[in-house]
Amino acid sequence: MDQYPINKIRNIGFIAHIDAGKTTTTERVLFYTGITHKIGNIDEGTTVTDWMVQERERGITITSATTTCFWTPTYKERTPENAYRINIIDTPGHIDFTAEVQRSLRVLDGAVVIFDGVAGVEPQSETVWHQADKFKVPRMCFINKMDRTGASFENSLKSIRERLTPYAQPINLPIGSENKFEGVIDLIRMKAVYFEGAKGEQVIEKEIPQELLEVATQAHNELIEKICEQDENLLNKYFAGETLPEEELRKILRLSTIKGVIVPVLCGSSFREKGVQPLLDAIVEYLPSPLDLPPVEGVHPKTGETIIRKTDVNEPFTALAFKVMVDPYVGTLTYFRVYSGLLKKGNYVLNATKNTQERISRLLQMHADERKEVDEIHAGDIAASVGLKDTFTGDTLCDPDNPIILEQISFPEPVISMRIEPATKTDQEKMSLVLKRLADEDPTFKISSDQETGETIISGMGELHLEIIVDRMKREFNLNVATGRPQVAYRETIKKTVESEGKYIRQSGGRGQYGHAWLRLEPLQRGQGFEFVNKIKGGIIPQEFIPAVEKGVKEAMDKGVVAGYPMTDIRVTLFDGSYHEVDSSEFAFKIAGSMAFQEGAKKADPVLLEPIMKVEVVVPEQFLGDIVGDLSAKRGKIQEMFDRAQMKVVNAQVPLGEMFGYATKLRSMTEGRGTFTMEYDHYEEVPSNVANQIITGRTKPNN
């Protein structure tokens, strides 16, 4: 692997709402950096990072793709000292594949958030922005599609400032817009930048057009003021009227971007090959290298003490596996980010999360679905390995002599399920193997079985998510399966605190069974999950039986008490009980825990919960009344309505159970002109009349 100094490496991601132009921008980046010699096209299915068959057919990104390129800023001499290595992850924009964005952000040092110049901030823009906030990822904005009818830099910037961050600060401005969009104005160097040649590969600097000089000067002064506010030395020079060196301005802007007190905003049109090179310049100038961020923190797997690893090849090797992929040619590919040390081909590493050893037989530098074999990788790099047996998303790989566990990645729970069965007997065994491989790849894809019917149930983040999974099973693994209608992943919970007793006593000659537990069940706030509290004192139940009680409780929670759905948002406290010197066993206490929970849950006002989705519908004005009426009929709560360009936007919260088939209905209601996006928001209690229908549907006997 070409060795670049760590301060010359950028690990960045392109994140955005669906169809904002992430993949198109990535294609231009690869072309201008010389990695590809032909620009791929989404409509023609020839893009590099959208390499899956399903991505090319649908024109959307499904899996995040990793690629590497090299760049020297356009205004610097092309020398090895001025060259940077950029590791890019192109992420999906569709909410069903949010796990791809989440795990990418966990290992990135910086991000470029791409916006549609017409729509500005869209629902998924907000989601990915808040995900980046959670992982403290420094970012910059790129307002794309400035050539489209209705594009407005001012409106898009306003929506970013109002809905995402007040720190958004333009560092370039558009020259013209819509079909008159010609180039950009560099606000630091105060130059007009044009893109000539067949593919915009020639970057030409000229003087700023006279009619834009006043606006550009005002924006330049505002930017300089914002930069100077961040540095006392620069501020003194500014007030003294001294000339401010360009290098100094760039240095402070870079530090401010890394701290998040300034978010640079650029603009362009990736499809028309305008504005991408200045974006590349800004990526290497202002987004952080691995050295600019705090050292990574973890804990010792045995002692629990905090350990810090600096981004240095001389530190012990530490890496986080953030993605697992099944490659039909090479087997399992594990992507990981190296935080410290160096790793050579043939080395043994410790998977500290699972406490198992893995041998690194092959190291790969990835370019979407193409692979380049390398002998070693260093701190700050992103790479992949083949054939790791026990390593999955979120696992820590490290030097066996210096164990450490990094913070794991948490993922949302699935909200939709469907039945799946093999078409033939011979497909039965193959199906379970294929499902396991797909679940290893995707942490938001879950497999379970219906205890009563023995059917296999698959669960995911949305209809499209499950549709893609089934399509992959058929195409990649030649597995024919039949599927049932999608089902909502309902949950159950309780509304009041109760105490209940579970006693399991069996005498059958010889050694018997004795388990006795008292539990307190309390409702928790939505989204808090399950909590088990051990309040046993004085050894009235021996410590070795307490995990068995918890296990029994969990098993009972999985079955539910209202309609057989898993229970959630409950705190269970084990506070009393008794045991028998001879007859007590783990099995007996597990049964006692299960009995106590079921008994208590039935008395604690159990209710059904349903997933509520955040829905945004964009329609022409003449259809607005019909759409609002239809959403209300679906038990939807309208949150807000506003204008976006020539369209009306309706934001609502609607139960997932009411949204099946909505795409088809929306098309017919709006003559094919309406669009909608939907993402999971929260769980809410089901109204009693609807709950009765669901319970009846679950409990009626099969014909």
What does the pLDDT read at residue 70? 86
Cα separation, 230 vs 277, in Å, equals 27
- The pLDDT confidence band at residue 620, using thresholds 50, 70 and 90, is confident
Closest CA to 648 of 629, 677, 628, 671: 628
Tokens matching residue 661: 């088939």
Q: For position 64, what pLDDT does the model report? A: 53
User: Of the candidates 84, 107, 99, which has an alpha carbon nearest to the alpha carbon of residue 10?
Assistant: 84
Q: ∠ at Cα 487 (554, 470), nearest 5°?
A: 100
Return the pLDDT at 56.
42
Lowest mean pLDDT among 72-81, 312-321, 408-417: 408-417
**Pairing mode of beta strands 263-267, 168-170:** parallel
* H or E stretch at 334: strand 331-340
Give the separation between CA 327 and CA 438, rounded to whole angstroms.
Answer: 11
Per-residue pLDDT tens over the stretch 427-480: 777 888 888 888 887 888 888 876 656 678 888 877 777 888 888 888 778 888
Beta bridge partners of 488: 416
Q: Read off the pLDDT of each residue in 335-346 and give the average, rounded to a whole number.
A: 89
662 contacts: CB under 8 Å, gap ≥ 6: 676, 678
Q: One-letter amino acid identity for 522?
A: E
Give residue 509's pLDDT. Answer: 62
Give the confidence band of 699 by pLDDT, cuts at 50, 70, 90.
low
> Can you give the pLDDT at residue 49?
41
Query: How far is CA 81 from each of CA 8, 72, 77, 488, rounded to the nearest angstrom?
Result: 9, 9, 9, 56
In the block, tokens 């110049």 appear at 117
The type of residue at 322 is F
Q: Over the stretch 3-59, which tens digit does the pLDDT of each residue have?
A: 678 888 898 988 887 778 887 888 888 888 887 666 655 444 444 443 344 434 444
pLDDT in tens, 241-295: 888 888 899 999 999 999 999 999 999 999 899 999 999 999 999 999 999 988 9
Contacts by 33-38, CB closer than 8 A, 24 or more apart: 33/69, 33/70, 33/71, 33/86, 33/280, 34/69, 34/70, 35/67, 35/68, 35/69, 35/367
**Are 502 and 548 spatial neighbours (Cβ–Cβ below 8 Å)?**
no
CA–chain centroid gap for 648, Å, is 28
So what's the pLDDT on residue 61?
Answer: 41
Q: How far apart are CA 578 and CA 153, in angstroms?
A: 71
Q: What percent of the chain has pLDDT over 70?
A: 90
CA neighbours within 13 Å on the CB side: how many for 424?
A: 5
Maximum separation of any 2 CA atoms in the chain, in Å: 102
Alpha helices per DSSP H over 44-120 = 53-58, 98-107
How far from the centroid of its chain's Cα atoms is residue 555's Cα? 30
240 pLDDT tier (thresholds 50, 70, 90): confident
- When pLDDT is averaged across residues 199-208 and rounded to a whole number, the result is 89
The distance in angstroms from the start CA to the end CA of the chain is: 63
Q: Give the Cα separation of 639 and 630 in Å (integer).
A: 15
User: What is the mean predicted confidence (pLDDT) over 390-402?
Assistant: 89
pLDDT tens for residues 350-367?
999 989 999 988 888 766
Query: Please, which residues have CB within 8 angstroms of residue 217's CB and are 6 or more apart in sequence?
Result: 190
**Packing angle, helices 232-239 and 210-228, rounded to 10:** 130
Write down the pLDDT at residue 703.
33
- Flag whether pLDDT at 85 surpasses 70: yes
Give the pLDDT score at 2.
Answer: 56
- Ramachandran angles phi, psi of 209, nearest 5°: -55, 140
Cα–Cα distance, 269 to 525 (Å, whole number): 45
- For the cut 50, the answer to whether the pLDDT of residue 105 exceeds it is yes
User: CB neighbours of 86 closer than 8 A, spacing ≥ 6?
Assistant: 9, 10, 12, 29, 33, 68, 69, 70, 71, 280, 283, 284
SS3 505: strand
The reported pLDDT for the residue numbered 426 is 74
Residues 6+ apart with CB under 8 A from 8: 83, 84, 85, 289
Residue 118: CB atoms within 10 A of its CB come to: 21
> Would you say residue 650 has pLDDT above 60?
yes
Instruction: For CA atoms 45, 47, 48, 49, give the dihedral sign.
Output: negative
| pLDDT mean over 528-536 | 92
d(CA 324, CA 385): 10
The answer for 203, left when phi > 0, alpha when psi is -120 to 50, beta otherwise, is beta
Provide the β-strand partners of residue 608. Answer: 492
Q: What is the 3-state secondary structure (H, E, C) of 154-189?
A: HHHHHHHHHHCCCCEEECEEEECCHHHCCEEEECCC
Report the interhelical angle of 246-259 vs 276-286 (nearest 10°). Answer: 80
Q: Which residues pair with 263 in a beta bridge?
A: 168
Beta partners for 620? none
Q: What tokens were used for 599?
A: 């008994």
Judge contact between 416 and 488, C-beta under 8 A: yes
Residue 427 neighbours by CB distance under 10 Å? 18
Residue 510 has what pLDDT? 63
**What is the Cα–Cα distance from 78 to 82, expressed in whole angstroms?**
6
3-state secondary structure 632-648: HHCCCEEEEEEEECCEE
Q: How high is the mean pLDDT of the chain?
A: 84
Task: Find the mean pLDDT for residues 189-201.
Answer: 89
